[in-house]
Structure 1
């Protein structure tokens, strides 16, 4: 137990270091964080909202974890990101335990180390998004699936008894259910892997081990305990938008410019993940060519299971039209186990492994504790918030023109109780003249055209920085009317 605690707390400290120093990045982080706050304000833990409108992008599990974090640490950037750090640390514990089963103590340690110190884990373990919980539950399902067929994959593994199989079968289907609640149908890739293993386990009665029909009904029942109330409350809209738009459309069309828009560009992007893995899995991706060569020559049943799971994730994400580097993140625990099992049989690996791990820890902590504080100065929303904070009143209304980013909602709603109004330049004066204290954020050029001189008592604040969502420099002005006039 001491080693499990060491893995968990060391990883948690690594992943949470400096998360309070850098603001939430537009657009995904503030959307998740604010939806959790609004869920908490409403006392409605079924249907998420963002800026007082339905948010159907993701199922609710990430919101539940962020709400729990808010209750302990308050509604702030650190608390919004903490659940991802916990999920990453728990995934490392799973890999440590599973790795010990596959290759002894050393394999367990290195599986946890490799996963925890790759680039995509560095990013997503510190981000207020749903991905790390998906990775955790998918990894748990992969492990449970392995245990149900371990004696078929490795002759040295003892045949499992009925009590043993019952435990792992329950774990498998519960993990599938919560993987769905974390990020939707993508969480069921372990099920495809088990089906794919039929090719390697011909003649073996998989259904006797997995009880597919009963197990899937159990999984669906868990999902429906949330899904049915959500569908009733939204009159089915949660399904049609959440599944129809964010799963089906994302699969058959390139959403938000991520992926090939035409048939020819789609084919050009097919190798996307087989190229970006060398960045996403860095620095350990340096060893992937040698690992591939080694496994091509020699592999056992355990390797085949891990390879099958990895291949299914990469192939499925390759076929999907919308492409982002982190979409294959659920394969990284399997890659970590594969590399950990064979790391010290690859040429030059012992020295490489130790030096790389030490360097990765130093760079990660340096980026988190020093780099984040430098980057934080480029976030214009936070600059405006800090400059105007003492003048904000709970009863204020607020709006934005050409800058209605989610970060505006997240930061300013910590002081005001209204919701963001997104308007056009020709609507600004009418909005500001309406009764009540309020403020509006707009490009400085627009503000100068509309208000060469401010009315008496009004205040203005300016900020320059980088809009991550649009990838461009912005110069913003916030105009505040502090009275009811």
Structure 2
């Protein structure tokens, strides 16, 4: 079971024949924080905040998923009903209630503390994602300690925290960052149980801590995204059982007590929603959402191999090192640590590649396993010396491409060069260049740290400066701002041709989503009413207004771009002047 030959185990540092002192302040900082767990946790928390906070507060709600989640939570807060999940009058049963409760807690807490208009501040709905992302970074560190040194665990956590995909999810009011936290917690506990069995440690009195973390994490994951977390765990266990021809170590998880504890946490809401909605929730969430992903749901179909292609961007800056580590990881595949991590990674990755519906965030819970495997090879200094080493240039290519796209996009959409982003772009390019030029087998650690710093500057440039400046991409925010500036009290609105969830969230739950004719009828039913009519629906609005004798004027017109539909839009805000 456990290897007994002399060469280092997976993740154990191996001295290079010719030691080269990597030097540099970044490596010196890593030396310092590696001295204790407290310093490591404080350092990783600070790095996570630097990576995730830029843009967190000032990017408007993103269509469509984030706005849908936020609006459903907003309605929970408005109605006081924390069992049912709705978007306006439509049920929203694709996901369980977990993230809605977390978002509602953030909003209610802010309101209790006196923050004005808390329900309209989308960043409050993002707080659980921020906590989930920071927690996932810290739990990656905790899980990695099972496989590598403290120094290596810090590097693994930095790889996960600086990844492009987690940076995006940390800023979105959705389930995926919190799901990552629960998956890493469960897999970290599972790894400790499995490796203690591999080492032949005393099975008579297994600790309660690891099973408690494992089963609690499973319950949290199920409340967040249904049985998906069970897939990651089950595929890992099945793969290990096949490779080891034994699964007796599972008894160390105290499954009988654990299952009962998990059911205590999960069942109350599932019983409540079944009592409220009958079979509708399970039909929509399992049949309508989960099983439908076997096909190309919502035009998100793609062939196998797409996740592997996206990996080079979504896992940057860890992707180049992961490629260099891959041959060594495969050679070590039968060592207990590498075997567990590959069992966590490969079966679920294959499933996601085979399923037709593909969205980048689906594979996020597998990234910690890749990060730990990568650091294990880095610590042993067995990174590939083949052509994959040329992939170090990727540390510079991504900042260069992202910077060019961001600046050109800003100029195209706003006619402004966004000069404030340029110093941060320059810093990202410089550190990306350092990461590339300084790379060799004995200085891979130094290159990685430079790449992480490049990711921090890139986050400030893109999320903190460029994206908030792209106001045409957020027409709902401009429409809501225009409605807040009207002189009447309690404005009501109807939207025709522009029905994005962000509009409902930014205006009011009662905002009517209709067509041009319906918007004209709505406008004629009272004062302080506004029709938000997209240009393609104006003909229907005008014809119906003429038919009912409605007099109106254009309060303002907002031009923008609907990122959900990929087309330019122009929304006129009409106000009634009465009827003839």
When normalised by structure 1's length, the TM-score is 0.90
Query: For 1:428-454, what per-residue CA distance to the aligned partner results, in whole angstroms no more than 9, with x for missing partners?
Result: 322221234322212235437744999
Deviation string 1:18-73 (CA, Å, 9 cap, x unpaired) is 21222111111111111111111111111111123211121111111111221344
Pick closer, same or farther for the CA change 1:192–1:380 going to 2, 3 Å.
same
Counterpart among 415, 428, 452 of residue 519 in structure 2: 428
Q: CA deviation at 1:228?
A: 0.6
User: Shift of residue 133 of structure 1?
Assistant: 0.7
Among 202, 219, 228, the residue aligned to 1:177: 219
- Aligned ranges 1:238-277 → 2 under 5 Å: 238-251=281-294, 253-260=295-302, 269-277=303-311
Write the deviation string for residues 379-432 of structure 1: whole angstroms up to 9, x where unpaired: 11111221231217664432211111101101002xxxx513222223332222
Question: In the alignment, which of 222, 228, 233 is matched to residue 186 of structure 1?
Answer: 228
Structure 2: how far apart are the matches of 1:384 and 1:17? 24
CA-CA distance at 1:316 after TM superposition = 1.9
Q: Does 1:279 align with 2:313?
A: yes
Q: Matched residues in 2 for 1:330 and 1:408: separation?
A: 31
Distance in 2 of aligned mates of 1:96 and 1:411: 38
Q: Which has the larger radius of gyration?
A: 2
Q: Is the deviation greater in 188-197 or in 342-351?
A: 342-351
Q: How many residues align?
A: 469
C-alpha change, 1:353 and 1:207, in structure 2 (3 Å) is: closer
Are the structure 2 counterparts of residues 186 and 445 from structure 1 closer, same or farther at C-alpha, using a change threshold of 3 Å? closer
Instruction: Name the structure 2 match of 1:195.
Output: 238
Aligned counterparts of 1:104 and 1:289: Cα–Cα separation in 2: 21
User: Deviation of residue 341 (structure 1)?
Assistant: 2.0
Q: Is the 8 A contact 1:22 1:372 kept in 2?
A: yes
Shift of 1:323: 1.0
**Once superposed, what is the RMSD of the aligned Cα atoms?**
2.5
List runs of 5+ in structure 1 lacking aligned partners. Answer: 261-268
Deviations 1:127-162 (A, max 9, x none): 111101111001101011111111234x4x854662
Superposition pairs of residues 346-425 of structure 1, within 5 angstroms: 346=383, 348=440, 349-391=444-486, 395-413=490-508, 419-425=510-516
Q: Distance in 2 between matches of 1:445 and 1:249?
A: 32
| 1:227-283 C-alpha deviation (Å, 9 max, x unpaired) | 0101110122111111110111122x21111115xxxxxxxx022222222222122
In the other structure, the counterpart of 2:73 is 36
Question: In the alignment, is residue 302 of structure 1 matched against residue 328 of structure 2?
Answer: no
Q: Residue by residue, what CA displacement relative to the aligned partner does 1:199-236 show, whole Å, maximum 9, x if unpaired?
A: 23224513422344553344234221110101110122
Distance 2:277 2:463 in 1: 40
Kindly indicate whether residue 189 of structure 2 is the aligned counterpart of residue 152 of structure 1.
no
**8 Å CA contact 2:519, 2:533 repeated in 1:** no
Counterpart CA distance in 2 for 1:191 and 1:221 is 21
TM-score (norm: length of structure 2): 0.76
1:321 alignment partner, SS class: coil
Q: Distance in 2 between matches of 1:127 and 1:469?
A: 15
Q: Which residue of 2 aligns with 1:265?
A: none
Runs of 4+ aligned structure 1 residues displaced above 6 Å come to 452-457, 482-485
SS of residue paired to 1:67 = helix
- Quote the residue 2:353 is aligned against: 318
Would you say 1:140 and 2:185 are equivalent positions?
A: yes
Structure 2: 5+ residue stretches without partners: 1-37, 111-117, 386-439
